[in-house]
Amino acid sequence: MKILDKVKKAALALLILSGPLYSIGQQDPMYTQYIFNLQTVNPAYAGSWQTMGFMALTRHQWVGMTGHPTTQTFSFQTPFTSQNVGVGFNVVHDKLGSERRIMVNLDYSYRVMLNSNVSLRFGIKGGFTNYNNDLNSLQPYPDGVPDPALMGMVENKFMPNVGFGLFLSSQNYYLSLSLPRLIQNSFQENSGNFSKMSEARQLYFAGGMVFTISDNVKFKPTFMTKSVVGSPFQFDVSANFLLAEKFWIGAMYRSGDAFGAIAQWVINSKFRVGYAADFTFTDLKNYQHGVHEVMISYEITYLKRKYVSPRYF
């Protein structure tokens, strides 16, 4: 037991101390309902549902602006019979103007029980990104005359990558630390007149806790930081309430960017539907109609278990 306590304390210290070591900014797609979408960035989250699970999410950012960012995500995860091994995969389609990215990854996690209530999962992620940017579709001048410097096609159809993650959790709290891409892929346009860093390393640190206020009300504060060295500091925080084990409702704040609302309907133990809306307080607020995000998840219990704990994360 003393060894397990030391491992637990070391893992907590690693997760907590790693958060402030990086400055933060966005290069990957962001999500307001990040807590239900952690597998996209942390492979150690795979298998944590205790069931076979499917999750689909679509996000439309800065609606009303031409070429506004859109993101679609599909994830699958399942534990093995022992519950100590989890596997999964996720596909992300990200679009911004003429840019297109499709990211496909396989996830593997292994669980170590620190005690009867707390587990630590170690995860690895491997996959590739398909990137395309049709510069010929851009019209930088009102008369439609293209800039010779912006002609051609930026493409790299296969950019492999690997990543890792840690996920410490009990029924009432979690901490997540992950670096989903270790390889900093870059590429150049075919004619050599345009270059771009495509996949910078980005660190994610997240956590949350559930407090029981009454028999019918639970309170869940959460946070997430997203880090790229050299970018401005940024973090997300949210406060959510679970009513009668059926409805999540809450609010979020993203530093330097937006505030918003989150809602989720737990239809039953298998099926959930969520919605979130963000409203920026930057200068963009006068040129768009907010951010809208819809999430659906479905779970299948196929292992022989007498009881599956309610899932708050």
The per-residue pLDDT of the chain, averaged, comes to 82
Asked if residue 231 lies in contact with residue 249, where contact means CB atoms within 8 angstroms, the answer is: no
Kindly report, residue by residue over 268-292, the tens digit of the pLDDT.
889 999 999 999 888 877 887 888 9
Asked if pLDDT for residue 1 goes beyond 50, the answer is no
**Domains along the sequence of the chain with CATH:** 2-300 (2.40.160.40)
Position 154 confidence tier, pLDDT thresholds 50, 70, 90: low
How far from 12 is each of 120, 160, 189, CA to CA, in Å? 10, 31, 44
Asked if pLDDT for residue 178 goes beyond 90, the answer is yes
More confident residue, 305 or 291: 291
Position 159 confidence tier, pLDDT thresholds 50, 70, 90: confident
Buried b (16+ CB within 10 A) or exposed e, 127-153: bbbebebebeeeeeeeeeeeeeebebe
> What pLDDT does residue 65 have?
78
Q: Mean of the pLDDT values across residues 150-175?
A: 83
